[in-house]
């Protein structure tokens, strides 16, 4: 009597056709919801005001069509502000920018910060998960985090334990 993973749900082998039908019926509303979420993410990535994906868009081309900075004036750039996460280990994922907020993450212990870009010195919220220090010793390929994801109004990340974590971005 083993269970099988089918289309994102657990179906008992003895459930037969009925179990598969239930799984398919549950998958249809999820697929519709996912399509709406993808449309919202596509709209965010098309906007030059947002950087809602690690590579800017589904093509991951890291390209912005903004022209304010160009080959002639790039040499005049100066730091206007900086933000320290308080950790010295690697930070490999790019920050995300959605609707005037910047979301920054760290390597272990996988802290996440939200900044208001109208006043980047103000931390809107921060999430500092409690994780076992033993995770550092068994981490493959260092303790870095490859970056946040954004979807359905939430910043998403994986902890060092590979457990996903979501944080509501607008209600905090």
Q: What's the token pair of residue 122?
A: 């103000």
Which residues, at least 6 apart from 160, have a Cβ–Cβ distance to it below 8 Å?
A: 108, 109, 110, 131, 135, 136, 139, 143
CA contacts within 13 A on the Cβ side of 75: 2
Question: What is d(CA 110, CA 132) in angstroms, rounded to the nearest whole number?
Answer: 12
State pTM to two decimals. 0.69
Annotation: CATH topology of 83-168: Thrombin, subunit H (2.40.10)
pLDDT at 160: 58
Sorted by where each begins, the domain ranges of the chain are 3-46, 83-168
Q: How confident is the model at residue 166 (pLDDT cuts 50, 70, 90)?
A: low
Question: What is d(CA 80, CA 44) in angstroms, rounded to the nearest whole number?
Answer: 25
CA contacts within 13 A on the Cβ side of 1: 2
Question: What is d(CA 156, CA 40) in angstroms, rounded to the nearest whole number?
Answer: 16
pLDDT tens digit string along 85-106?
A: 998 888 888 899 999 999 998 8
Q: Are 171 and 158 in contact (CB under 8 A)?
A: no
pLDDT at 6: 34
Q: Which residues pair with 113 in a beta bridge?
A: 104, 126
Which helix (H) or strand (E) is 98 found in, with range? strand 96-98
Closest CA to 92 of 52, 57, 141, 161: 141
Which residues, at least 6 apart from 65, have a Cβ–Cβ distance to it below 8 Å?
A: 48
pLDDT tens digit string along 24-81?
A: 434 445 455 556 667 888 999 999 999 998 899 889 999 999 999 999 999 999 999 9
Other Cβ atoms closer than 10 A to 85: 15
């Amino acid at each position: 009597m083993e269970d099988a993973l089918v289309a994102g749900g657990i179906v008992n082998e003895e459930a037969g056709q009925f179990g598969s039908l239930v799984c398919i019926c549950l998958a249809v509303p999820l697929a519709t919801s996912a399509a709406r979420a993808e449309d919202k993410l596509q709209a965010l990535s098309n906007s030059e005001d947002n950087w809602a994906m690690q590579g800017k868009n589904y093509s991951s081309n890291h390209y912005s069509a903004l022209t304010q900075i160009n080959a002639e004036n790039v040499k005049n750039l100066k730091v206007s502000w900086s933000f320290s996460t308080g950790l010295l280990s690697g930070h490999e994922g790019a920050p995300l920018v959605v609707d005037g907020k910047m979301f920054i993450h760290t390597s272990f212990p996988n802290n996440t910060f939200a900044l208001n870009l109208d006043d980047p010195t103000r931390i809107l919220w921060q999430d500092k998960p409690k994780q076992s220090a033993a995770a550092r010793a068994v981490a493959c390929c260092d303790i870095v985090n490859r970056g946040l994801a954004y979807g359905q109004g939430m910043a998403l990340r994986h902890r060092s334990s590979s457990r996903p974590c979501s944080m509501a971005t607008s209600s905090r």
